Structure 1
Amino acid sequence: MTELSQNHCSIISLVELCLHGNQAAMLQLVERSQGLVFRLCLRMLGHQQDAEDIAQETLIRMFRSLHCWDQERRFEPWLLAIASNRCRTLLAQRARRPNWQLLDDSLPETSLAENSADLLAEEIGCALQIIPANLREAFVLFHEHEMSYAEIAEILDRPLGTIKTWIHRARRQLVQRLQNRQVLEKSTYALQAV
Structure 2
Amino acid sequence: MTNFSLLVDQCMDGDQSAVSEFVRRFRNQVYLLCYRMVGEHHEAEDMAQETFLRVFRNLHRWDRDRPIEPWIMTIAGNRCRTHLAQRSRRPIACETQDHVEDHRATDHRGELLAEEVKLALSHVREEYRRAFLLFHDHQLTYSEIAQQMDCPLGTVKTWVHRARRELVQRLASRGVTQEYRASQLARATE
Q: 1:34 to 1:112 in 2, by over 3 A?
A: farther
What secondary structure sits across from 1:185 in the alignment?
helix
8 Å Cα contact 1:113-1:119 kept in structure 2: no
Deviations 1:64-111 (A, max 9, x none): 111111122111110010011111111111222242432422145378
8 Å Cα contact 1:80-1:155 kept in structure 2: yes
Mapped to 2, the partners of 1:132 and 1:20 lie a distance apart of: 41
Shift of 1:63: 0.8
Runs of 4+ in 1 over 4 A off after TM superposition: 110-114
Q: 1:119 aligns with which of 112, 117, 123?
A: 112
Residue equivalent to 1:175: 168
Residue equivalent to 1:150: 143
What secondary structure sits across from 2:176 in the alignment?
coil
Which amino acid is 1:89 matched to? T
Identity of aligned residues (%): 47
Bigger Rg over Cα: 2
Task: Give yes or no for the alignment of 1:50 onto 2:43.
Answer: yes
8 Å Cα contact 1:43-1:128 kept in structure 2: no
Shift of 1:150: 2.1
Q: TM-score, normalised by structure 1?
A: 0.83
Residue equivalent to 2:7: 14
Mapped to 2, the partners of 1:106 and 1:19 lie a distance apart of: 50
Task: Give yes or no for the alignment of 1:130 onto 2:123.
Answer: yes
Residue correspondence of structure 1 range 11-160 to structure 2 within 5 A: 11-107=4-100, 109=102, 114-160=107-153
Q: TM-score, normalised by structure 2?
A: 0.84
Q: 1:17 to 1:34 in 2, by over 3 A?
A: same
Q: 1:185 aligns with which of 174, 178, 187?
A: 178
Shift of 1:49: 1.7
Structure 1: tracts of 5 or more residues without a match: 1-7, 189-194
Q: 1:48 to 1:34 in 2, by over 3 A?
A: same
Q: 1:107 to 1:72 in 2, by over 3 A?
A: farther
Mapped to 1, the partners of 2:4 and 2:16 lie a distance apart of: 15
Q: 1:130 to 1:111 in 2, by over 3 A?
A: farther
Coordinate RMSD, CA, aligned: 2.4
Structure having the larger proportion of residues in helix: 2
Which amino acid is 2:24 matched to? E
Mapped to 2, the partners of 1:131 and 1:112 lie a distance apart of: 29
Number of matched pairs: 181
Mapped to 1, the partners of 2:20 and 2:105 lie a distance apart of: 38
The answer to which of 165-174 and 104-113 deviates more is: 104-113
Q: 1:80 to 1:21 in 2, by over 3 A?
A: same
